[in-house]
Structure 1
Amino acid sequence: MELHTGEELEKDRTLAQAVQSLSDAKLESRRKDQSLRSLGKQLSQSQQENKQLQHDIASAENALTTAEMNKESLVSYMKSVEEHLQEMKDHVILSRRASSRNDFTLQLSRLSLIPSDLQRIMGNPETEACQVQTLTNHILQLSMQSSHITALKSELQDACLQERSGCIPVRAIPCLALNPNWLSVELMSTFILSSKIFSHTLDKILAKAIGL
């Protein structure tokens, strides 16, 4: 009886220890589960942070590439601006030298004209030569007519003197017999016609010269 009671107590003690061990194991398992969940959360957070860091690195690399391209563009633009400024300085210096020294070559380059412009301004040389020749012919013709008029006037004066002295009658000169004013009218008409031709030609040449 006592032996049986001792065995039961030993069993109860063993069972109690087993239950306690099981409870401790459950608690340990819970703690481990909590630790695993916490580690899982930390791992997930670390992965997210890693992804964000990689994204930030990629953005930084893109920004650096863009900045490098912008830097190259800015350097190229600055070089072009410096070259343009240097060209402007050289142009100003050349302009000042040309204005101070009256550079003949620069003046010729500024005043250079194409042949069509020269022909438009100066006119056709053949036409001008023809007009000059026509004017010369009219001047010669006017001079000849003036000499002829002078000779006719002299003959008229001689005829008048002879008429007054009774040597030659007026009827001896047919034109004067029909119209005593014929000689004056003829001389005046010839002179007026020549004057008009000369004046018209001279006005054309003067107008062309003024147009230059």
Structure 2
Amino acid sequence: MKRWCALTKKKTVLLYLDRGGGAVGVCGGLFTATQKGQKAPETAEGAEARFTRWLQSEQLFSIILSSMSDLQEALAHRGSSPPSVISAARSGLSRLLDHLLDQSAGSFSGGASEWLKLGLSGRALDLKALVSALQQHFLLFSQRLHSAEVERRSLRLEVTNLRRGLQQGVPSDHFLSVCEELHQALSREQEAQTLIQDQSKQVRTLSHSTQELSQARKEVARKERSLRILGKHLSGVQKEKQQLEERLQRAEEGQRDLSRRHECVVNCLKSAETSCKQLCHACISRIGWLEQEVSAHRSHVTALRSELQDACLRDNQAFVPVEEFPEPFPPADPETPKPVPLS
């Protein structure tokens, strides 16, 4: 509202409303009192309040509802086509503009009378402008009449077309049967769509399963290659195992031979030990016996020597004088026994 008032201070005619025939000027200026005793000009606050009251008035609300009723019906009807909605909107807008222009015409007539009362001051329109305005109003009125006549003819054509369509309409039974067939076709179409969706899902699942199968095949091939490699490695391990078993058998046989040889050696050593022990016992017993015999022979030899010495002394004393008798023989050493060979 403030911007509107600011524009009215700068220009008398704010805009022109062109409806196909002539342009209607929209003015926003205020009248100025030139004589005493006349009413003072309306302030901006009063104009704003009046404009607000006009926007909130029930008259404007009823005008808008009555003008847009056809558009509301077209929008509420689901089967209406876009051209019909556009035509309903245009007709509603034209009716709304007609009502608003009617109100503005009344206000303009009041304003003109006020201007005439003011004595046609400097800001008032001159005669030529008034004549041109009247000509424009007459032209606009004739155009509105022409548009109303055209609209009436179009409405009559629509009514005749509707009547002709009603006359050319099909029976209700046939219409119901066609609707039933269409409903069945729609249900079949829905079933077909559901089947197509199911098949598409199955195709997706099959493609997914084929991908998984290809991956599984690749995995199986990889595992087969690894199994072949493991089989080769296992065959080599088995060969090595057989070789190790053969070596182990040979080692066990050698160990058994060594154990048998060891047992033989142990037996031989045991027999040699027993024979050595027996030989030692025999040698010890023989040596003891021989020592006893040697000691007996020694005692016998000593006895014989002593007897021989005594005999010799007696013989010498009998035949040789004592002064010339030689010194006695030294006692003979007992014979050392010679070692007796063991047999």
TM-score (normalizing by structure 1): 0.43
Structure with larger Rg: 2
